[in-house]
């Protein structure tokens, strides 16, 4: 499976001519959606979903059943649901956005395990309770500390981990966070720049 990282939390998965895009938000490049067969949205925040772009795309968009996403028709998904999206096997897990400072209300947030290999948690640190080959790990957010990201990677113990949720970090901040995660997790951690694939 080819994985391409786009700005912030957007990731494009390609396998045997099929394309699945996760969390194409308002900061991600439009090219992420070129040829997409389906889209997964972890939650309703604009940095994870660009409603106008998706409304004109004409492909199935899967999102949490409890999400409030006006202006876009979605296929509602609940935690524990297994389904096929764009030819990929997907299992939804988790359920809520990580707590944000000051008791701000959270929202529905689902993580997605794709083809039993790649896990995108959205804005949560939900541990799915099964072996994970490739973890997409949030590295910065108003709801996240670096220590929590490190503990999350350690709790899952993936074969490899790649940074997501990083658009608000400048180069100095990215170097610091990447250094800590690479040194402290021993998980094959690597930061992919937007547009970089593996």
- At 15 the three-state DSSP class reads strand
What are the pLDDT digits (tens) for 132-190? Answer: 999 999 999 989 999 999 999 999 999 999 999 999 998 888 888 889 899 999 788 98
Q: In what order do the strands lie in the sheet with 11-15?
A: 2-5, 11-15, 18-22, 38-40, 61-64, 75-77
DSSP 47-88: TT--HHHHHTT-S-EEEETT---TT---EEE-TT-EEEETTE
Prediction pTM value? 0.93
């Amino acid at each position: 499976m080819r994985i391409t990282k786009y700005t912030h939390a957007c990731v494009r998965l390609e396998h045997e001519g099929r394309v699945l895009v996760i969390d194409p938000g308002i900061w991600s490049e439009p090219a992420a959606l070129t040829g997409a067969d389906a889209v997964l949205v972890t939650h309703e925040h604009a940095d994870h979903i660009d409603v106008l772009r998706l409304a004109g795309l004409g492909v199935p968009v899967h999102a949490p059943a409890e999400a409030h996403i006006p202006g876009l028709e979605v296929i509602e998904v609940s935690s524990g649901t297994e389904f096929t999206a764009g030819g990929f096997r997907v299992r939804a897990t988790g359920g809520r956005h990580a707590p944000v400072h000051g008791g701000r209300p959270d929202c529905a947030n689902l993580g997605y395990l794709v083809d039993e290999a790649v896990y995108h948690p959205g804005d949560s640190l939900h541990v799915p309770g099964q072996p994970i080959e490739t973890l997409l790990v949030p590295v910065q957010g108003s709801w996240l500390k670096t220590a929590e990201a490190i503990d999350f990677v350690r709790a899952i113990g993936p074969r490899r981990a790649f940074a997501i949720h990083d658009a608000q970090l400048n180069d100095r901040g990215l170097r610091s966070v990447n250094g800590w995660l690479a040194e402290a997790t021993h998980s094959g951690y690597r930061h992919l720049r937007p547009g970089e694939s593996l």
